[in-house]
Amino acid sequence: MKQKIENLLKQFETKKEAAKTIADAEAIRLEFMGKKGYINELMAEFRNVAPENKKEMGMLINSLKTSIETGLGELIQAKKDEELENQLKNDKRIDYTLPVNQTIGALHPRTILQKQIIDAFVSMGFTIEDGNEIETEYNNFDSVNVPESHPARDMQDTFWLDNGEVLKTQTSAAQNRILKTHGPICRVLFPGRCFRNEELDATHENTFFQIEGVVVDKNVSVSNLIYFMKEMLKGVFKKDVNVRLRPGFFPFTEPSFELDTTCPLCGGKGCSACSHTGWIELCPCGMIHPNVLKEAGIDSKEYNGFAFGLGFDRLVMIKTGLDDIRRLNGGNVKLLSQFGTKI
Ligand code: DAH
């Protein structure tokens, strides 16, 4: 019987080699595995094997069965692949002489700038955090010192959801959670997509991007804020730029500022990107309001800090020369991919 098993395996291998089509493979299956096939024949003979040889013979038959099953599987798959290949070759609709399309796409200019800004802050010891896009009213407003009665709520046209939550109008919505988890001593940067129910025009989108940063420690000062922003700009524009502060108003900061930078394109001489003023409005910022620190459980007598909320779509427009913010969300791959290596 042992000899028979060995011969069957050899026979199977020879037939497998010779098979040309799926039909051939099916015929082999029947011959070996079918009802009246060799394997069943073997099983019938197995009943008469002496008990002391049953174990060995059983194992040999099993391994023969497995080899044939695997071999058949491989054979059928190979024949199917061959048939498909032949079909495709004969399909006149496909022109195999056409060159391969090598377009691999490019990073969005916004993604590239965000990475450059992140890299600059990471090198200054910042941790990066992600925010939610749907936020509670508390996180988006109350926790950052914007109670219901506050006029600042009307400044941001909010998309309210049926359950009372909001599409976050500002990355500041993550401040409370971040100060609670990272504070009281921390440097955190949290980029994110924000939404406001705005009239759309060349400089306003209902979906836009901000990068928020907070630094909390002992004895933080406005000059620290200026230093960090200048370093970041140096990292992004690869040259020294000047910044200036103008007074601003935001409920989360006291005092609040608007930070401008010398135009990175003309170096402050005046060009069309900076409306010939030499300055570009960069970001609102300020010293974190004690109420915001207290709400996050930080002792505002011992610790203080600064925060900024950089609407960086403006920077992307300056870097790319695109004069309409809507193009950034437009998804025109041809337009956007040209900045992939340029930016
Ligand atoms: N959240 C503000 C807005 O979207 C921007 C902002 C202002 C963020 C001052 C800050 C800040 O962190 O300190 O209008």
* Confidence at residue 342, expressed as pLDDT on a 0 to 100 scale: 45
pTM: 0.69
Name residues of the chain where pLDDT drops below 50: 342-343
pLDDT at res. 237: 86
What is the distance in A from the centroid of ligand 1 to the CA of 258? 10
Q: Establish whether the linkage from the previous residue to 255 is cis, with ω within 30° of 0.
A: yes
Q: How far apart are CA 168 and CA 158, in angstroms?
A: 8
**Euclidean distance between CA atoms 149 and 231, whole angstroms:** 38
DSSP designation for 194: E
User: What confidence score (pLDDT) does residue 64 get?
Assistant: 92
Our mutation pick for probing the ligand 1 site, out of 141, 193, 250, 313, counting the most ligand atoms within 8 A of Cβ, is 250
Domain chopping of the chain, boundaries: 2-90, 109-340
Structure confidence at residue 341 (pLDDT): 57
**What residues have CB less than 8 Å from 214, skipping those under 6 apart?**
175, 178, 179, 186, 187, 188, 288, 305, 306, 307
Residue 343 is predicted with a pLDDT of: 42
286 CB near ligand 1 (under 6 Å): yes
292: helix, coil or strand? helix
Q: Is the CB of 172 under 6 A from ligand 1?
A: yes
Three-class DSSP category at 323: coil
* CATH code for residues 109-340: 3.30.930.10
| 108 phi-psi bin (left φ>0, alpha ψ -120 to 50, beta other) | beta
**How far away, in angstroms, is 275 Cα from ligand 1 center?**
24
| pLDDT at residue 153 in the model | 78
Task: Specify the residue with its C-alpha closest to ligand 1, atom 5.
Answer: 309
Specify the ligand 1 atom closest to the Cα of 210: 4
Using only C-alpha atoms, what is the Rg of the chain? 35
